[in-house]
Amino acid sequence: MINISFPDGAVRQYEPGVSSLDIAKSISEGLARKVLAAEVNGEVWDATRPITSDASLKLLTWDDKDGKSTFWHSSAHLMAEAVESLYPGVKFWVGPAVENGFYYDMDLGGNQIGEEDLKQLEEKMKELAKQNNAYSRKKISKPEAVSYFKEKGDEYKLDLLQNLEDGSITFYTQGSFTDLCRGPHIPATGFIKAIKLTNIAGAYWKGDEKNKMLTRLYGVTFPNQKELDEYLLMLEEAKKRDHRKLGKELGIYTMDDDVGQGLIMWMPNGTVIIEELEKLAKETEDDAGYKRVVTPHIAKESMYLTSGHLPYYADSMYPPMELEGEKYYLKSMNCPHHHKIFAAEPKSYRNLPYRIAEYGTVYRYEQSGELFGLMRVRCLHMNDAHIYCTKEQFGDEFRAVNEMYLKYFKLFGVDKYVMRLSLHSKEKLGIKYVNEPELWEETEKMVRDVLIESNIPFVEVQDEAAFYGPKIDVQIYSVIGREFTLATNQVDFSQGRSFKLEFTNKDNQPETPLIIHRAPLGTHERFIGFLLEHYAGKFPVWLSPVQVKILPISDKFMEYVVEVKNKLRKSGVRVEIDERSEKIGKKIREAELSRVPYMLVIGEKEMTENKLSVRRQGKGDMGALDVSEFINMITEEIRERKAAE
Amino acid sequence: MINISFPDGAVRQYEPGVSSLDIAKSISEGLARKVLAAEVNGEVWDATRPITSDASLKLLTWDDKDGKSTFWHSSAHLMAEAVESLYPGVKFWVGPAVENGFYYDMDLGGNQIGEEDLKQLEEKMKELAKQNNAYSRKKISKPEAVSYFKEKGDEYKLDLLQNLEDGSITFYTQGSFTDLCRGPHIPATGFIKAIKLTNIAGAYWKGDEKNKMLTRLYGVTFPNQKELDEYLLMLEEAKKRDHRKLGKELGIYTMDDDVGQGLIMWMPNGTVIIEELEKLAKETEDDAGYKRVVTPHIAKESMYLTSGHLPYYADSMYPPMELEGEKYYLKSMNCPHHHKIFAAEPKSYRNLPYRIAEYGTVYRYEQSGELFGLMRVRCLHMNDAHIYCTKEQFGDEFRAVNEMYLKYFKLFGVDKYVMRLSLHSKEKLGIKYVNEPELWEETEKMVRDVLIESNIPFVEVQDEAAFYGPKIDVQIYSVIGREFTLATNQVDFSQGRSFKLEFTNKDNQPETPLIIHRAPLGTHERFIGFLLEHYAGKFPVWLSPVQVKILPISDKFMEYVVEVKNKLRKSGVRVEIDERSEKIGKKIREAELSRVPYMLVIGEKEMTENKLSVRRQGKGDMGALDVSEFINMITEEIRERKAAE
């Protein structure tokens, strides 16, 4: 018998050779129907693969990231089987799972696949899925594998084989389709219930434009039709709410080739949002005892050698500028500058926790192919802060930061979020992570304990920590269900020592502080991108670039109109007048389109009665209000940062 | 007869060979006694030099920058004469006028001059000054000049002579001292009435540490004793108000070798001042119809080739970063990014004037030897803005900017300021200035007209314009009389065309806007340096990093103390508690030293009576006040940005 240990700590005994699927069945048939793959000793395996010795086991379903990606990778094989049956002679390159689905690159020979052929392919896939063919794994020697693909005349797989070592090669077969593949795969094609092929594109072999152009076929699959329907609906909604489209329409941001890719310029309307967000952060942090600082965007190489950004983070940094024999780097993080501010004046335990915040701008290199709207950029603005504290203070400080996140999420109507506790990887100590095994263990435990004590649901992921310590990544979901990785809350036991930061403790001894790195709203770039989608451009009043648009029915009422405008401005309301001599209907339509929350129509009647005809964007007429009534209403809405209803 | 034209436009006739001094005498003896030099056809000459043909003439006195520097340069010769008479065999290198006085570098051979010798040297100088010896100019051939210094055995002057062309060489003699010198000089030593030698330092010959160390002797002189006394008093006061000393004491800013020279890091107290200044600017600009933007700190080479920063401003820029085959530069000005924002959406005359402001950070290269505290830095923060307008709108817009300056000066208690209209130089068109002679004339006239119409006193200076147009530089004086070059208001007729900026005019035709560049508070670095000196660190309440310090007499009153603190915080007051268990006397002394404007002493009596004992920094006890009374008083003081009394 072998011992299988489960995530909850339970250990059960099974016959050697038992598969994860067998184990699932031994628990419940319902569970077995959901098992897509399994994590065995930290490695993702086929659920059908025999386990021969003691092991830790985690069953993976659709709810697990690795379960999903196994499902999609198996779907790529299913798609390949369908293509091969309809287009004999096709040769395949690689077919991975991606963020939302999968693709396969293929050489169709003389054939071509167009949009109009996708339906037929989907039907073929459904037919093959219904056959519920098992995905079977087979170890194969390199010479055998080579001779198989030589016979098939498949130069692509032969190319892949060149880089594989004999003894590590596996084939997977389902139905009539066999592929060179490391796996893992789901148990059988029958798990795949809903199929949508989404796109056809060209892709150079190995990404090199000197090579042949292959056909890349994209698809997405689900374990039931309902999820596919929801996904397609979400896609359609996301298209309408596309932050790039709305960002342009609403004058939020722009980019320019002469400035450079991924370098956002915030237009006046976007800047209003940035400033409101920063004002919110400043108020929140002021209440929480933070102080503010301003630091330059560059520093000398020596600082980044001390911090460890060089070499650990070098790939994400801009190249240096050489001046007077020194190398200067654009900062990719604010922390080293903040450490210098901590160190500028001597500190005692009385000064801790020392919390300093900055509206910081950092520069990170992302490959130009990775850049995307506000989501992947090279210049990042963020409400950043660092907290220097004692070990005793750590729990309270870390908890307070987590709570600040939750407070923000509530304010922005983020109902769904996941906290990911990102841990180090032992194998990468000294390469990707500072080589301090005990401190890693200790601080990871501290963070985990805070999360458990605060009753915050979280998942743990290996090998995603910062190089200086464990962190919490927060993923939030927009109202239409799209996921955004947003904020981080990080522990740092390393930089305090590297920078020789010290405070005098109660025993009058020097001691190194722990450091918390936090940016609860993430970058303003990504957060505003999120908000554009989340609100579909209809910002709550406090965030709206223009809060009120006054629409005079004619020039005759301008004196009253200007009087109303001035009263609103004095109350701190952002107000504009549509002075054009257009018909009132057109003015209303355009104001509605520009998502101004309140429109005030002013004509003869309003002027005589000293009133306003108030319209709410998307809701229509609210009737006539006194000027002071309206001002009270809107200023309260702004002051309390009320959500759009 | 020759025609001499004066700055007021008058033209008078004189005999050829007349000197400026003769002309001054012909106007009044009083004037003649004040004439130190003269600008003849734009060149500074000895007042005694004969004028032989028609010329424009400006007599230079102590009130003119060039008058002053001639005076100081002549004083350097006087000092050299005194040194030579006391230390025979001394050899001289160069002796220029500097910002406040003059120096002369010399090789004293076997001798040494110490602090204790300065008195004797000053006496000698006074003696020589009283002789009222004329400074006489003599043209001399190069061979003659060489043989003169060969005979004297002076290798330094021989070295200087190497680079001079025959025909352009002059000697100046006063009393027994003769020097190789281009001049000009004041008429005679008698003009120098008050003398102070201020410093002795070492200086490598030609600034190269491989060369011999020379002795550099610094001095300053005045046309009367009163001015010297005032100057010495000002120096003493300036020492107490030194922004570097106060900046450290008050936790305003810090610098660090690992970050880099000239790169200021703003500590929490300095950041409060920055944010208050920017809040003021934002409110002021909001009322004046500006919108705000945020742009990145880098851009591609192509943008700076378009703007003309490359090549015209290249020396002041950081070197490029090379990324993916492109060169990226740190921005040294915000204008090109703003032009891109202007261009991002089509504009019509209805959108003009289009005013966009940014709290911008720019990077400029200054040689490390030039860096000085907050005054000369490499990273500059500024409230910057650009106004795009039609020619018709230009006058009003430019005037409004000037008026904004005056409003700020009033708020900060700046009573003395000078506006300098900086013009181009015809000779440097196409080198230092864009080559558009007519547009230079036209825009210079527009700016001059605005200044004259607004009755703002100004001086005109040649060859100090921006490369894209004329500008006004504003110099302000701190309460102790030191001069700071602060703000600029610039016209730009060039970049609009380079960036192909357009608006549709009333005739539906494309037209290029004029651009005004303005930054009324200059850089925050220099302005806060100025304010530290101006206020001697005793900021008005609205600018004070900590506005109120509560000083409990004992722990027993903490509940009431915290209640008072919370009330103040709710009213937006920046308040701290001195929680230490120190004697109240010590707490008061330290709070006074930290320049907190209000101290609230709280003990038994205050708590029982629900009052506060209020102290004003530097003024002492203000008696007991109700909490609400005090809150009303201080919040009004903050809201109205009242000056410190």
Residue A487 tokens, joined? 């904020």
User: pLDDT tens digit string along A73-124?
Assistant: 999 999 999 999 999 999 999 999 998 899 999 999 889 999 999 999 999 9
Does the pLDDT value for residue B540 go beyond 90? yes
Peptide linkage before B311 cis (omega within 30 of 0): yes
Looking up residue A172, the CATH number of its domain turns out to be 3.30.980.10
CB atoms A321 and B318 under 8 Å: yes
Contacts of B323 in chain A (CB under 8 A): 318-319, 365
Compare CB distances from A271 to B254, B293, B322 and report the shortest one's residue.
Answer: B293
Domain stops at, among B240, B275, B302: B240
Looking up residue A353, the CATH number of its domain turns out to be 3.30.930.10
**Minimum CA–CA partner of A303 in chain B:** B258
Contact present, A319 and A332 (Cβ < 8 Å): no
For residues B476 and B564, membership in a common domain is answered with no
Contact present, B32 and B19 (Cβ < 8 Å): no
Section B619-643 average pLDDT: 95
CB atoms A300 and B259 under 8 Å: yes
Report how far apart, in Å, the C-alpha atoms of A190 and of each of A134, A232, A534 are: 8, 22, 36
For residues B275 and B127, membership in a common domain is answered with no
User: pLDDT tens digit string along B93-136?
Assistant: 999 999 889 999 999 988 999 999 999 999 999 999 999 999 99
Compare CB distances from A379 to B296, B341, B356 and report the shortest one's residue.
Answer: B296
Out of A610-624, B453-467, B599-613, least confident range:
B453-467
Alpha-carbon torsion, ordered B628, B633, B634, B640, to 10 deg: 140
How many Å apart are CA A45 and CA A47, to the nearest integer?
A: 6
Examine residue B43 and state whether it is found in any structural domain, yes or no: yes
CB atoms B356 and A302 under 8 Å: no
Residue B626 tokens, joined? 């109700």
* Parallel/antiparallel/unpaired status of strands B458-461 and B417-422: parallel
For residues B506 and B611, membership in a common domain is answered with no
Confidence (pLDDT) at B539: 96
- Within its chain, how far is the Cα of B465 from the centroid? 16
Does the pLDDT value for residue B230 go beyond 70? yes
Examine residue A626 and state whether it is found in any structural domain, yes or no: yes
Q: Which residue has the tokens 């399994």?
A: A38
Whether A430 has its CB under 8 Å from any CB of chain B: the answer is no
How many Å apart are CA A316 and CA B245, to the nearest integer?
A: 39
The count of domains in chain A is 4
What percent of the residues of chain A are helix, what percent strand, and what percent coil, each to the nearest 5?
A: 40, 30, 30
CB atoms B266 and A322 under 8 Å: no
How many Å apart are CA A45 and CA B102, to the nearest integer?
A: 83
Examine residue A303 and state whether it is found in any structural domain, yes or no: no
For residues A101 and A138, membership in a common domain is answered with yes
Looking up residue A13, the CATH number of its domain turns out to be 3.10.20.30
Q: To the nearest whole angstrom, how far is the Cα of A301 from the nearest Cα of chain B?
A: 8
- Phi, psi (degrees; rounded to nearest 5) at A388: -105, 120
For residues A380 and A492, membership in a common domain is answered with yes
Assign A645 a pLDDT band (cuts: 50, 70, 90): low
**Minimum CA–CA partner of B576 in chain A:** A289
CB atoms B260 and A298 under 8 Å: yes
For residues B346 and B288, membership in a common domain is answered with yes
* Parallel/antiparallel/unpaired status of strands B101-107 and B213-222: antiparallel
For residues A350 and A381, membership in a common domain is answered with yes
How many Å apart are CA B67 and CA B187, to the nearest integer?
A: 12
CB atoms B291 and A302 under 8 Å: no
Size of interface A-B (CB pairs under 8 A): 168
Section B210-235 average pLDDT: 94
Does the pLDDT value for residue B434 go beyond 90? no
Residue B297 tokens, joined? 């700190």
Compare CB distances from A263 to B257, B298, B320 and report the shortest one's residue.
Answer: B298
Does the pLDDT value for residue B600 go beyond 70? yes
Give the SS3 label for residue B358: strand
Examine residue A645 and state whether it is found in any structural domain, yes or no: no
Burial of B226 (0-12, 13-18, 19+ CB in 10 A): exposed
Examine residue A245 and state whether it is found in any structural domain, yes or no: no
Give me the half-sphere count of Cα atoms (radius 13 Å) on the Cβ side of residue B356: 26
Q: What is the DSSP string of A243-307?
A: HHHHHHHTT-EE--TTT-TT--EE-HHHHHHHHHHHHHHHHHHHHTT-EE-B--SEEEHHHHHHH
* Residues in B 507-536 with any Cβ partner in A closer than 8 A: none
Contacts of B379 in chain A (CB under 8 A): 296-298
Contacts of A330 in chain B (CB under 8 A): 297-298, 321, 330
- Phi, psi (degrees; rounded to nearest 5) at B415: -90, -30
CB atoms B299 and A270 under 8 Å: no
Compare CB distances from B267 to A263, A272, A341 and report the shortest one's residue.
Answer: A341
Strands (DSSP E) contained in B168-297 are 170-174, 177-180, 194-204, 213-222, 253-254, 265-266, 291-292
For residues B281 and B424, membership in a common domain is answered with yes
Peptide linkage before A540 cis (omega within 30 of 0): no
SS (H, E, C) B536-590: CCCCCHHHCCCCEEEEECCHHHHHHHHHHHHHHHHCCCCEEECCCCCCHHHHHHH
**Minimum CA–CA partner of B274 in chain A:** A294
For residues A232 and A351, membership in a common domain is answered with no
CB atoms A299 and B270 under 8 Å: no
Examine residue A519 and state whether it is found in any structural domain, yes or no: yes
Examine residue B299 and state whether it is found in any structural domain, yes or no: no
Contacts of B297 in chain A (CB under 8 A): 297, 330, 361, 363, 379
User: pLDDT tens digit string along A452-481?
Assistant: 998 888 989 888 898 889 999 999 998 888
A412-447 as b/e, with b when 16 or more CB fall inside 10 Å? bebeebebbbbbbeeeeeeeebbebeebbeebbebb
Out of A433-447, B122-136, B261-275, B344-358, least confident range:
A433-447
Does the pLDDT value for residue B237 go beyond 70? yes
DSSP H or E stretch at residue A2: strand A2-5
Contacts of B318 in chain A (CB under 8 A): 298, 321, 323, 328
Q: To the nearest whole angstrom, how far is the Cα of A110 from the nearest Cα of chain B?
A: 36
Assign B374 a pLDDT band (cuts: 50, 70, 90): very high
How many Å apart are CA A292 and CA A173, to the nearest integer?
A: 61
CB atoms A341 and B297 under 8 Å: no
Q: To the nearest whole angstrom, how far is the Cα of B598 from the nearest Cα of chain A?
A: 20
User: pLDDT tens digit string along A315-347?
Assistant: 899 999 999 899 999 999 999 999 999 999 999
Residue A53 tokens, joined? 């010795």
How many Å apart are CA B357 and CA B621, to the nearest integer?
A: 43
Among A249, A267, A378, the residue to mutate for chain B (most B Cβ within 10 A)? A267
Contacts of B275 in chain A (CB under 8 A): 292
How many Å apart are CA A81 and CA A185, to the nearest integer?
A: 15
Among B290, B295, B335, B501, the residue to mutate for chain A (most A Cβ within 10 A)? B295
Residue ranges in B317-390 assigned as alpha helix (H): 335-344
- Provide, rounded to the nearest whole percent, the portion of chain B with pLDDT above 70: 100
Looking up residue A621, the CATH number of its domain turns out to be 3.40.50.800
User: pLDDT tens digit string along B44-80?
Assistant: 999 999 999 999 999 999 999 899 999 999 999 999 9
Q: To the nearest whole angstrom, how far is the Cα of B368 from the nearest Cα of chain A?
A: 9
Q: To the nearest whole angstrom, how far is the Cα of A437 from the nearest Cα of chain B?
A: 29
Does the pLDDT value for residue B574 go beyond 70? yes
Whether A250 has its CB under 8 Å from any CB of chain B: the answer is no
For residues B410 and B519, membership in a common domain is answered with yes
Whether A292 has its CB under 8 Å from any CB of chain B: the answer is yes
Number of other CB atoms surrounding residue B482 within 10 Å:
17
Q: To the nearest whole angstrom, how far is the Cα of B645 from the nearest Cα of chain A?
A: 28
> Mean pLDDT over all residues of chain A?
93
Examine residue B322 and state whether it is found in any structural domain, yes or no: no
User: pLDDT tens digit string along A358-392?
Assistant: 999 999 999 888 899 999 999 999 999 999 999 99
Assign A512 a pLDDT band (cuts: 50, 70, 90): very high
Report how far apart, in Å, the C-alpha atoms of B221 and of each of B4, B198, B225, B484 are: 32, 10, 9, 21
DSSP H or E stretch at residue A27: helix A20-27
Q: Which residues contact B27 (CB under 8 A, 6 or more apart)?
A: none
Number of other CB atoms surrounding residue A142 within 10 Å:
15
For residues A591 and A624, membership in a common domain is answered with yes
Domain stops at, among A479, A505, A535: A535
Confidence (pLDDT) at A7: 86
User: pLDDT tens digit string along A19-67?
Assistant: 999 999 999 999 999 999 999 998 999 999 999 999 999 999 999 999 9
Contacts of B361 in chain A (CB under 8 A): 296-297
CB atoms A379 and B259 under 8 Å: no
Q: In what order do the strands lie in the sheet with A548-552?
A: A575-577, A548-552, A598-602, A611-616, A620-626
For residues A127 and A212, membership in a common domain is answered with yes
Contact present, B490 and B519 (Cβ < 8 Å): no
Q: Which residue has the tokens 């996140």?
A: A405
Domain stops at, among B205, B240, B275: B240
How many Å apart are CA A627 and CA A613, to the nearest integer?
A: 10
Compare CB distances from B303 to A258, A322, A341 and report the shortest one's residue.
Answer: A258
Section A193-218 average pLDDT: 92
Whether B298 has its CB under 8 Å from any CB of chain A: the answer is yes
CB atoms A256 and B344 under 8 Å: yes
CB atoms A258 and B302 under 8 Å: yes
Assign B644 a pLDDT band (cuts: 50, 70, 90): confident
**Model confidence pTM above 0.80:** yes
Confidence (pLDDT) at B645: 65
* Residues in B 318-357 with any Cβ partner in A closer than 8 A: 318-324, 326, 328, 330, 336-337, 340-341, 343-345, 356
Section A501-518 average pLDDT: 96
| Residues spanned by the domain of B163 | 66-240
Strands (DSSP E) contained in B205-271 are 213-222, 253-254, 265-266
Q: To the nearest whole angstrom, how far is the Cα of A264 from the nearest Cα of chain B?
A: 7
What ipTM does the predicted assembly reach?
A: 0.84
